[in-house]
A and B are shown apart, each in its own frame.
Chain A
Amino acid sequence: MPQDFLGRIWYILDNNWMSFLTGAVNTMIIAIVSTLIGCVIGFAVGLVQTIPLNKKDNPLKKGVLYLVRLILNIYVEVFRGTPMMAQAMFIYFGSSAVFGINMSMWFAAFFIVSINTGAYMAETVRGGILSIDPGQTEGAKAIGMNHVQTMTYVILPQALRNIMPQIGNNLVINIKDTCVLSTIGIVELTYTTRSVSGALYTYFEAFSIAMVIYFILTFACSRLLRMWEKRMDGSDNYDLATTDTLAHTSGLYKYTGREEERD
């Protein structure tokens, strides 16, 4: 084993690059898939929380909605309010000890990260929907759209655009926080780093490598998402659909009646 820092780093990489790669790939798979599932959960919960109720609705609908919202609120508060590592232990070990369910490690991993992301995204989505000008909903209603159509075509596309930075944020957090899954035995980046360093007693070097890999992953993801946001915004200008641009220049003609009233 070389004596200098860079030499040792090179040595570790040379001998363990496969482990680091596997760890990084597993980390990314869990982070990306769980963020996506979490977004779906978040949108579902956020949508239920923003269903409008009015006096004319029947009491059964109101009652059911009230109950469902209560359960969803509890879900959001519990998962936001407890550490993911504790949840991982609780769910993975608890499910077999108490309910006799033997979850696969991977299922547990996706489940825990998704359900966590979902809890955070639920509030983000709810806020995103509420932040859209009520005029948008009224415009949609005024042309006869129902609630589902209004949400699908008008509100959600705008809300999604507005919460894109938050989705990116969640992805970055998930890339980092999957490290807690090493406690239930998932071979992600932190797990592989620990086994590499443990074998050779080179914690500093191995974790330096891990830090760099984590940073590259998170940085690349946030840049990619930023680019995607830009694309969602579309172009800053538009083409006039005619060659005769003078045909309709706004503000040039006046309703003549207005002059009289000032006389």
Chain B
Amino acid sequence: MSREEVIRIHHLSKTFGKNVVLRDIDFSVCAGDVTCIIGASGSGKSTLLRCLNLLETPTTGEVYFHGQDITKNGIDEAAYRSKVGMVFQSFNLFNNMTVLDNCMIGQIKVLKKKKAQARESALSFLEKVGMAPYINAKPRQLSGGQKQRVAIARALAMEPELLLFDEPTSALDPQMVGEVLDVMKKLAQEGLTMIIVTHEMAFARDVSSHVVFMSDGVIAEEGKPDQIFNHPRNPKTTEFLSRFMRG
């Protein structure tokens, strides 16, 4: 493959006290890949994503970002995080700011952009997620789906090289799930590199270039979506998928 490797996870493990949550995780993501991580609740998907942008410190193992180990001491974590965005299940929009300010603050304070420039780019990303009309609203005045679209715009405004999504639609009412998935699908088509933890199996099947199935803190199976969803090899995968595809 000629595409550049963006991130590589190497023998990563994470324990909380005596509780081993992730064990020997190994996989890599190339530019333009859309990797979906699926698996039952408690299998360690969130912990893995949080290790990737250092919200949690991996216990052992390394994470290489463009070949550089970012779990080493002395790495500028903030600078690294400005290149790897994250969209949370609970949105985590800044409650004290308007929609527009949410999308500008990082550009101004972290990327040191001029205000006018930041505003212009914030507007264009809000436009992209269909939230441009709401620039003056505060997060508490928006629906869940709208909040999540703003959160995506906020992450995009940093122009990240990799965007992580942790169950971005799990906190949404069913009728709002579609609007968020639509936006994400558009981003996938534009070639944004993404790692997405999701329970939306149809979405994972249609959008991803690679699927990782996690079970009890290990990668039980990974491969192309067609292989995972239509010809799973691991009985655990079959069992997990049957619960989702039923009915």
Q: Give me the interface of A with B, judged by CB distance under 8 Å.
A: 54-56, 133, 135-136, 138-146, 149, 153-154, 157-158, 161, 234, 237-242, 244-245, 247-248, 250-255, 257-258, 260-262
CB distance from B149 to the nearest CB of A (A): 8
Kindly identify which residue among B93, B133, B136, B158 contacts A245, using a CB–CB cutoff of 8 Å: B133
Closest to A157 in B: B96
Cβ-based interface call for B237 (8 A): no
Closest to B203 in A: A257
Beyond A238-B136, A258-B202, whether A251 also contacts B105 by CB under 8 A is no
Q: How far is the CA of A122 from the CA of B133 in the complex (A)?
A: 41
Where chain A touches its partner, the secondary structure class is: loop
A-B contacts at CB below 8 angstroms, number = 140
Q: Could you say which residues of chain A place their CB within 8 Å of the CB of B85?
A: 142-143
Contact A240 B133 (CB under 8 A): yes
Kindly identify which residue among B106, B111, B135, B185 contacts A241, using a CB–CB cutoff of 8 Å: B135
Beyond A55-B57, A250-B143, whether A141 also contacts B176 by CB under 8 A is no
List, sorted by A's number, 14 A–B pairs whose CB atoms are closer than 8 Å.
Answer: A138-B88, A144-B79, A144-B158, A145-B78, A145-B110, A154-B94, A238-B134, A238-B141, A245-B133, A247-B133, A251-B173, A255-B181, A260-B202, A262-B247
Interface residues of B in 230-244 (CB under 8 A from A): 244
Q: How far is the CA of A55 from the CA of B111 in the complex (A)?
A: 28
Kindly identify which residue among B57, B203, B205 contacts A56, using a CB–CB cutoff of 8 Å: B57
Contact A258 B179 (CB under 8 A): no
Q: Could you say which residues of chain B place their CB within 8 Å of the CB of A158?
A: 95-96
Cβ-based interface call for B55 (8 A): yes
Kindly identify which residue among A143, A237, A253, A260 contacts B155, using a CB–CB cutoff of 8 Å: A143
Q: Could you say which residues of chain A place their CB within 8 Å of the CB of B10?
A: none
Contact B203 A139 (CB under 8 A): no
Contact A258 B178 (CB under 8 A): yes
Contact B179 A138 (CB under 8 A): no
Give a binary string over B171-196; 1 marks a CB under 8 Å from any A CB, 0 the rest. 00101111101100100000000000
